[in-house]
């Protein structure tokens, strides 16, 4: 265990009573003394502060924004070029089969693209980008910055106490903001379904900033346990679980992230790895789809539970990729894959019993973004 | 008759409990058989029958209020009552004082 990496906030977490667990090669706080349920509710009702410094922060820089953006469009099937300055967008890398090798956030920071990728994939993502950039476009991993997320209906109030200019940011805006004396790269986004911010802060200033935010009476520390239940209620995919390299954008119900300009008939149609299968599937339909599911009764159905069309069938029609108890929903929720167009009964096999589920719209809890 | 539940220490370790599946009243169980499924926000765990016997009562309160196990593990959070077929099986268990020392 001694080879686990530490974020700049590691000692801060331990000092605040966190239970630390290995996650994507890092020793990370899964919960604090309040526990997952209270931390989840705290974030929905007030504000929660998360350390997400394990995620990869990457700058892609060319002679200008457009050059870097077009270079990334060869790997990412979204419109990077037309993203307005100081705006952020969701995207993903695809492989030759159209499978998603990681999902990410990218931002137009004026003269470069700022990319945030998943911790478990960051090594592969950076190697992939580096190997595929043309001359003059460089990929720089940012290792001297921590990443904090401040999420919840009172996140704006708490962050504005350090710099009122953040009130002017809308959902998916990015800005350079001085917070507690440090130059921070702030986005108005997150992974909870709530309004909030992600804050890239110099390592040396991270503990002081976290301390200053935590001093606000609206803010409590939140661990990875509640981060998972919050994103599940928000209907957001967890890479490696709900989406992986065997799942295409159409199957994952993520085609909303592929703008028209990159689709068949668009001005910059295709031109990314896996464009053939990805675009064909958008036109012709996918064999399976990610859907929201609610187990009837109280028993949670977790990742790996197989789904059947009736109580006796031997061949599953799908499976759950994320599931658990939704503290705000007040019951079990799940997401998983079913054949496209299937609208018959659904049973999950739990401890040898077939228990019914119903389909549900996602998000399970209403999104609360500042548009 | 023996009342079975989990300790406060165990409940804390499990985290917030969101679901408890209890055995049927009248069921005959064998020591170390899985008789209760307990799900926290994090994971599912099994509770094993501590001894051979018959389940004579279960705590239905937990079906609708599973968090009672977190709030009052050693009291209202009990799970089932078992009539022992061989009470001597209890001899191998430690008492509360010894347990508290163990988990200190």
B67 to chain A: which residues are within 8 Å by CB? 37
How high is the ipTM of this complex?
0.84
Q: For every one of its 371 residues, what pLDDT tens digit does chain A have, with 9 covering 90 and above?
A: 468 999 999 999 999 999 999 999 999 999 999 999 999 999 999 999 999 999 999 999 999 999 999 999 999 999 999 999 999 999 999 999 999 999 999 999 999 999 999 999 999 999 999 999 999 999 999 999 999 999 999 999 999 999 999 999 999 999 999 999 999 999 999 999 999 999 999 999 999 999 999 999 999 999 999 999 999 999 999 999 999 999 999 999 999 999 999 999 999 999 999 999 999 999 999 999 999 999 999 999 999 999 999 999 999 999 999 999 999 999 999 999 999 999 999 999 999 999 999 999 999 999 989 88
Tally of CB atoms within 10 A around A233: 25
Interface of B with A in 71-100 (CB under 8 A): none
Describe the strand order of the beta sheet including B2-4 as a list of residue ranges.
Answer: B2-4, B80-84, B53-58, B28-29
- Kindly give the residue spans of alpha helices, DSSP state H, lying in chain A: 10-15, 36-45, 65-73, 122-132, 155-160, 203-214, 224-233, 275-284
pLDDT digit string, tens, across residues B62-77: 999 999 999 999 999 9
- Kindly give the residue spans of alpha helices, DSSP state H, lying in A169-254: 203-214, 224-233
Tokens at A28, concatenated: 């990370």
**Which domains, and CATH codes, for chain A?**
10-52+144-233 (3.30.1360.120), 287-371 (2.40.30.110)
Nearest to A36 by CA among A220, A196, A227: A227
A328 to chain B: which residues are within 8 Å by CB? none
Tally of CB atoms within 10 A around A26: 20
**What's the gap between Cα A295 and its chain centre?**
24
**Burial level of B51, CB count in 10 A (0-12/13-18/19+)?**
buried
Nearest to A310 by CA among A346, A274, A258: A346
A37 to chain B: which residues are within 8 Å by CB? 15-16, 18, 41, 67
- Domain B2-103: assigned CATH number: 2.40.50.100
Q: How far apart are CA B45 and CA A229, in angstroms?
A: 19
- Taking the CA of residue A326 and the nearest CA in chain B, the distance in Å comes to 8
Interchain CB distance below 8 Å, B42 and A225:
yes
The distance in angstroms from the start CA to the end CA of chain B is: 29
Interchain CB distance below 8 Å, B15 and A35:
yes
pLDDT digit string, tens, across residues A252-302: 999 999 999 999 999 999 999 999 999 999 999 999 999 999 999 999 999
Describe the strand order of the beta sheet including A88-94 as a list of residue ranges.
Answer: A88-94, A100-108, A113-117, A56-61, A138-141
A326 to chain B: which residues are within 8 Å by CB? none
Read off the DSSP letter of residue A270: -
Indicate the domain borders of chain B: 2-103
Tokens at A134, concatenated: 């043309």
Percent of chain A with pLDDT over 90: 98
Read off the DSSP letter of residue A193: S
Which neighbouring-strand residues pair with A96?
Answer: none
Instruction: For A54-119, give the DSSP string.
Output: TSEEEEEE-SSHHHHHHHHHTT--S--TTPPTTBEEEEEEE-TTS-EEEEEEEEE-SSSEEEEE-G
What predicted TM-score, i.e. pTM, was given to this entire model? 0.94
pLDDT digit string, tens, across residues B6-61: 999 999 999 999 999 999 999 999 999 999 999 998 888 999 999 999 999 999 99
On whether the CB atoms of residues A28 and A50 are closer than 8 A, the answer is no
């Amino acid at each position: 265990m001694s080879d686990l990496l530490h974020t700049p906030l590691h000692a801060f977490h331990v000092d605040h009573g966190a239970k630390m667990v290995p996650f994507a090669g890092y020793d990370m706080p899964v919960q604090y003394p309040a526990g997952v349920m209270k931390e989840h509710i705290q974030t929905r009702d007030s504000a929660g502060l998360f350390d997400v410094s394990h995620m990869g922060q990457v700058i892609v820089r060319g002679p200008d924004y457009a050059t870097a953006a077009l270079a990334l469009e060869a790997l990412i099937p979204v419109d990077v070029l037309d993203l307005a300055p100081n705006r952020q967008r969701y995207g993903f890398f695809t492989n030759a089969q159209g499978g998603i090798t990681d999902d990410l956030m990218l931002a137009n920071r004026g003269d470069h693209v700022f990319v945030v990728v998943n911790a478990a994939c960051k090594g592969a993502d950076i190697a992939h980008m580096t190997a595929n950039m043309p001359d003059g476009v460089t990929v720089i991993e940012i290792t001297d910055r921590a990443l904090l997320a401040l999420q919840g209906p009172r996140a704006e109030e708490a962050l504005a106490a350090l710099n009122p200019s953040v009130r002017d940011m809308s959902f998916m805006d990015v800005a350079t903001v001085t917070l507690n004396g440090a130059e921070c790269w702030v986005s108005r986004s997150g992974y909870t379904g709530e309004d909030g911010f992600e804050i890239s802060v110099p390592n040396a200033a991270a503990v002081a900033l976290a301390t200053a935010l935590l001093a606000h009476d609206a803010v409590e520390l939140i661990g990875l346990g509640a981060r998972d239940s919050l994103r599940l209620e928000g209907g957001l995919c967890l890479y490696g679980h709900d989406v992986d390299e065997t799942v295409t954008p159409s199957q994952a119900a993520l085609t909303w992230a592929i703008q028209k300009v990159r689709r068949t008939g668009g001005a910059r149609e295709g031109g990314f790895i896996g464009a053939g299968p990805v675009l064909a599937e958008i036109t012709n339909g996918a064999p399976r789809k990610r859907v929201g599911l609610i187990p009837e009764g109280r028993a949670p159905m977790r990742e790996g539970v197989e789904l059947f069309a009736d109580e006796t069938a031997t061949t599953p029609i799908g499976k759950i990729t994320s599931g658990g108890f939704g503290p705000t929903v007040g019951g079990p929720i799940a997401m998983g894959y079913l054949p496209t167009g299937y609208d018959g009964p659904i049973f999950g096999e739990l401890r040898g019993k077939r228990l019914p589920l119903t389909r549900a719209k996602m998000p399970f809890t209403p999104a609360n973004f500042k548009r | 008759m023996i009342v079975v539940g989990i300790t406060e220490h165990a409940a804390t370790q499990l985290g917030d409990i969101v679901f408890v599946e209890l055995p049927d009243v009248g069921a005959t169980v064998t020591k170390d058989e899985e008789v209760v499924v307990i799900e926290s926000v994090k994971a599912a765990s099994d509770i094993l029958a501590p001894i051979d016997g018959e389940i004579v009562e279960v705590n239905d309160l937990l079906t609708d209020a599973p968090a009672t196990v977190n709030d009052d593990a050693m009291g209202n959070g009990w799970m089932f009552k078992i009539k022992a077929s061989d009470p001597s099986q209890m001899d191998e268990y430690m008492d509360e004082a010894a347990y508290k020392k163990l988990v200190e």
